[in-house]
Chain A
Amino acid sequence: MTEKYVGQRMTRTEDPRLLTGQALFVDDVEIPGMLHAAFLRSDYAHARLRSIDVSAARNRPGVVAVYTAEDMEDAWKPCPPLVIPPPTVKGVLFHARTQVPLVKDKVRLLGEPLAVVIAESRYIAEDALEDIVVDLEPLEAVVDLEKALEPGAPLVHDDLDSNLAAHLIQKKGDYAAAREKADVVIKRRIVIDRCAAGAMENRGIVAYWDEKSQQLTIWDTTQAPIPIRNGLAGMFGLSSHQVRVIAPFVGGGFGPKVMMFYPEEVLLTWATLQLGRPIKWIEDRRENFLATTQERGQVHDAEIALTSDGRILGVSHTFIHDTGAYDPYGLTIPLNTQSHAMSAYDVPNYYSELKVAFTNKMIVTPVRGAGRPQGIFLMERLLDVAAKELGIDRVEIRKRNFIPPDAFPYNHEIIDQAFAALVFDSGNYLAGLEKAAAMIGYDQFIKEEQPRLRAEGRHVGIGIVSFVETTGVGPYEGARITVETDGKISAATGVGTQGQGHFTSFAQVIADQLGVSPRDIRLVTGDTSEFHWGTGTFASRGSVVAANAIHAAAKAVRTKILKLASKVLEAPEEELELVDNQVRVADIPHQSISLGELAVMANPLRGAVEPGTEPGLEATAYYGPQYGATASGSHAMIIEVDPETMMVEIKRYVTVEDCGTMLNPLIVEGQVHGGVALGIGNSYYEQLIYDENGQLLNASLADYLIPTASEVPRIEVGHEETRSPLNELGSKGAGEAGCIPVPALFAQALEDALADYDIEILEAPMSPNKLFALLQGKEKE
C-alpha cells in the first residue's frame, strides 16, 4: 500500500464554498415562518430573583411568546452533567452542580438567562426584553478564587457547606522523601487567569419541530452534534431517530462549542416543541463574552526539588481551579493540568492536590489548550527559576531531564482526563528541542548577538521551552464509507468540523486505500442523519480517533472491493490493484473494472445473493484508542521590549512540532500558526477582567484584544515525526499544541529581555501594564 495522498500538502476541497460565500453557517439557515429568540440576561453575578413580570412583553405586537422558568413547569430541570469523574478515582470528592435553562430562584453568574422572548424578528424580540420588569436582590459575589474557599465566604450553591466543588490528590512516588534528599528546593506561587476562546462566529441555534413529520431538526454551532442529539432526545422524550442535529460549517470552535447543554440549546428546543415553528437564536458578541464558557483560572503553590546538577527529584503543587458557577465538565481541565505538570520530563516523585472552587463567574470548560497551558507554564517556570538559581543553561537543564526516547511507553503513574493511566506512547523530546535551538540560533544569539545589542542599550531576549500535548483520547469515533454507483465515494463521520480541514485530510486517508482522488470523495461531518455514533471534535482527536476510524472503514471497503473484483476479473485478490477509480490486474492493466460498475454489481436488483454477504460496497468501522497519543514540541522566540511602553516586538518565532504522521502538513502548519496566535493573545494581550462584583469589564472586542496581523509574527515551523505506535496511521493530534507553551515562552523571553531588572514572571497572561508594574521599584542593575 503506497501512501500517495497521506502526507501531501493538499489544498482543501472545502475552500471554494467558503471563499465564495456559499458555505452554510447556522445564521444562514432561513425557513419560512421562522421566529427569533432573544434572552433577558442578569446584570448581576449573584442575586436572588424576587419577581419577574413579562406581561408587557407578551403584549408587544410581533411577540409570539415569552417564557420564564415558571412557564416551563416540569420541563425545567438542571442540565445533565457532561463528564462525571467515576468513583474509580481514589478519594475523589465531586459535587455536580449543573446549569439551568432559566433562573428560577437565584442568579449565579453574570448574564445567566432570566427569560426568553420569541418574536417575529430579532429586533422585536430585543425590544420586548426592555418591557420585562425584573426584581433582583444583589448578593455578595464570589469572584476571587482563594477567597471563594475561605470560611464564611458567600455560597454559590446554598445547599453546599462551602464553595469547594471537588477535591482530588494525585501522587507518584514519595515527594516528601525526595524533598529531603534534594540539594535545592524552589517554591513559587503561580497564577493563571481567564481568557475567552474568541471564535469569530458566535454561537447559534435554529430549532424546528415539524408536527406533521414528527421530526425535530436542530442546526447548532456545536462541536459535538451527536451527544447533543442524544441528550435532547432524552430530555424531551423523543426517539433519537426523530432528532437530527446538524453542525454545518462552524466558524471556529476552540472548545466552548463542545459544552452542553447551553441554556439556549434546551430552550429553543423546548420552545419549538411548544410552538411548532422554527426558531433562530444567534448569539451577539456581548453575549459571547457573557454566555459562552471560558477557561484557565488557577492558583498554584508549587515546589520543585532538584539535585545540584539540575536533575528533577520531584514536583509538588497544591492548586485551586476555578470552575465558575457550575461544573458540567467535571474535572477534565484540572486533570489535564496535572497530566502536563510533569510535561516531557522524567519526574520520579510528584504530589498534586487539587481543589476546585465554585465562583460567580461564567462556567469553565475547555478552551484550546484545556488545562495543558497551565501545567506547562508551571513546570517550565519552575525549571527556569531552577536553572537560574543553579547557574545552568535553560536548554541544558531541560536536556538533563527529558524522558529518553527509549523509555516509551512511559507511565507517569497518575490518571489523565479520560480517567486512563497517564502513559506517553512515544516521543523524541531532545531532538525537538535541539532542532528548535538550531533553527533560532540559540547559542549564537546568546554568545554574540544579544551582548552586542545589549551594548547598544536594547532590551532583546530569547526564550526556549518544551511541551507535550496529550491528544487523541477515547472513547471512540466511527465512519461509514460507500462506493457510489458513479464510482465516487461517500463518507460520513460523526465529528463536526470548525475549520480543521477534515473534508480534505480525511479524504486523503480514504483516497490512499481506494485508489481514487480525494476530489472524488464527498465527505460529511457533523450531521447525525448521516452518521450517528460518536462523541465530537475536541482534545485534538480528529486526526487520531476519527481519521483512524475512517482508515479502518476504508480498509474494510477495500477488502469488499477486492473480493468482488477477484470474482469478476477471475484473478486472485493479491494480483489486483486499485488505481484511477478502477480495479485492475496488476500485470494486465486492461483487465479491469471501474469502481462504479462494481458498486452496481454489489447491489443487484434481481438474482440470488450469497448467504452471509452484505449488499453494496460499504463499510462502517470504529476506532477507540487504549489511551491517548502524546504529541510534543519546542518553541523559541526572540523579542525586543521597549522599556518605555512595554510593547513587545517578536523578531523571530520558531516551533518544532511532533504530531506523528502528518496527514496533511499544510493543514498541520495552519493549526500551529493559529495556536501560536491564540497563545500570544493568552500571553500578553487577552485577559477577562472581572471586578469584585463579578462584572466583566472588557466584554467587547474593542476592550478584549485578540491579536491582529500586527502582533502575530511570521512563524517558522519545523517538524519531527515520531509515529504513534497506538494507531495504524501513526498520527497524534495537533490542534492545541500551538497555544500550549506560549505563556511559558513569553515569561522566559520577557525575563531575558529585561535581565537587567532581574524580574520573575509568575503569572499569565502578562500585559504591558502588568510588566510596567513589575518593573516599578526594580532598580536597573
Chain B
Amino acid sequence: MSDQFPVTVTVNGTQYERAVEPRLLLSDFLRHDLGLTGTHVGCEHGVCGACTVLFDGEPVRSCLMFAVQADGHEILTVEELGTMDNLHPLQEAFREAHAVQCGFCTPGFLMTLVPFLEENPNPTEEEIREALSGNLCRCTGYQHIVDAVKLAAEKMGA
C-alpha cells in the first residue's frame, strides 16, 4: 500500500481531515471520499470541463489536481450553489432556458460560469461563448446555455 498523507480541506464550508494517497485525484476525493457526486468526471485529461470546481474561488479541473494539493485550501462544488427548492439564479436560468439535457456536463458549466458572471456581470454573446469554450456539451449545441447565461446576468443584475 502506498503511504497516506494527511489533508485538511474546506469543502462547501465544512472542514474535512482525511489521510489520502498522494496520487488520489481531487475529483475522486470529492466524489468518492466525501460523497459529493455532483462533480462529474468526463475525460480525466482536462478537456471536457465536467469536473470543474472552485478552488479558492477560481475554476479548476478537479481531475487535473491531486487531493493533497487541496491541503489548506477552500473548494466549492455544485452542491453548494443552490438547493432543489431554492436554486441559484444561474441554475434557475439554466432551467428556464432549457440549458440542460442529460445534465452530465451541467455542474461543470455552472462552476465555470459563477466566477465568470462575477467578473463580467453583463457579458456579450461572444464573451459568453468564449467563456464556455473550455467546457464540452454533446446534447445542447450550447445555444440554450448561452441564452441561460444572458438570462442569469439579467436576474443577477436586477
Contact = CB atoms under 8 A, between A and B. Distances in A.
A and B bind: yes
Interface of A: 11-12, 14-23, 25, 27-28, 30, 61-62, 123, 197-202, 249-254, 284-285, 498-501, 666-667, 669-670, 672-678, 700-702, 706, 708-710, 712, 714-715, 738
Interface string B71-100: 000000111011111010001001110101
B45 A25 contact: no
A709 B23 contact: no
Q: Which of under 10, 10 to 19, 20 to 34, or 35 or more describes the interface residues of B?
A: 35 or more
B100 A19 contact: yes
Given A20-B87, A27-B31, A285-B45, A252 B138 contact: yes
B38 A30 contact: no
B68 interface: no
13 contacts: A123-B23, A198-B138, A200-B102, A249-B103, A251-B103, A251-B105, A252-B104, A670-B140, A670-B141, A674-B101, A700-B45, A709-B133, A710-B133
B36 interface: yes
A664 to B, nearest CB: 9
B129 interface: yes
A499 B144 CA distance: 14
A709 B103 contact: no
A123 B23 CA distance: 9
B132 A708 contact: yes
B95 A16 contact: yes
Contact of A28 (B37, B133, B136): B37
Interface core residue of B39, B105, B107, B142 (most chain A CB under 10 Å): B142
B77 to A, nearest CB: 7
Contact of B141 (A23, A500, A673, A702): A673
Contacts of B105: 200, 251
Nearest to B110: A19
Contacts of B134: 708
A20 B81 CA distance: 7
Contact of B103 (A62, A199, A499): A499
Which of B21, B77, B82, B98: most chain A Cβ within 10 A?
Answer: B98
A126 to B, nearest CB: 10
Nearest to A9: B98
B42 A18 contact: no
Contacts of B101: 252, 499-501, 670, 674
Contacts of A28: 31, 37
B69 interface: no
Contacts of B79: 20-21
Contact of A700 (B37, B47, B81): B47
A19 B105 CA distance: 10
Contacts of A123: 21, 23-24
Contacts of B81: 20
A12 B36 CA distance: 24
A20 B136 CA distance: 19
Nearest to B37: A28
3 tightest A-B CB contacts, nearest first: A21-B38, A251-B104, A499-B102
Contact of A251 (B43, B102, B129): B102
A200 B48 CA distance: 8
Nearest to A713: B143
Contacts of A252: 101-102, 104, 138-139
Given A16-B85, A199-B138, A249-B102, 15 more contacts: A16-B87, A19-B87, A19-B106, A20-B38, A21-B77, A30-B35, A123-B24, A199-B102, A200-B40, A501-B101, A678-B138, A700-B47, A701-B43, A708-B133, A715-B141
B141 A30 contact: no
B11 interface: no
B83 A20 contact: yes
B143 A715 contact: yes
B110 A710 contact: no
A61 B143 CA distance: 50
A709 B104 contact: no
A254 B143 CA distance: 19
B50 interface: yes
A251 B40 contact: yes
B37 to A, nearest CB: 4
A414 B45 CA distance: 47
A676 B132 contact: no
Interface string B111-132: 0000000000000010011101
A247 B83 CA distance: 24
B103 A673 contact: no
Nearest to B134: A708
B98 A670 contact: yes
Nearest to B46: A702
Nearest to B96: A11
A701 B40 contact: no
Contacts of A249: 102-104
Given A15-B100, A670-B101, A254 B138 contact: yes
Interface string B19-58: 0010110000001100111111111110110100000000
B32 A30 contact: yes
Among B37, B78, B96, B139, max chain A CB count under 10 A is at B139
B145 interface: yes
A673 B101 CA distance: 11
A710 B104 contact: no
B146 interface: yes
A702 B61 CA distance: 15
A250 to B, nearest CB: 7
A123 B132 CA distance: 32
A674 B138 contact: yes
Contact of A19 (B31, B41, B44, B103): B103
A21 B136 contact: no
Contact of B100 (A12, A27, A710): A12
Nearest to B43: A285
Contacts of A254: 138
B106 A25 contact: no
Given A200-B50, A701-B45, A19 B94 contact: yes
A14 B39 CA distance: 18
Contacts of A673: 140-144
Contacts of B142: 673, 677, 708-709, 712
Given A200-B50, A670-B144, A710-B133, A25 B139 contact: no
B95 A11 contact: yes
Contacts of A17: 84
B88 to A, nearest CB: 8
B158 interface: no
A617 to B, nearest CB: 29
Contacts of B36: 21
Contacts of B130: 709-710
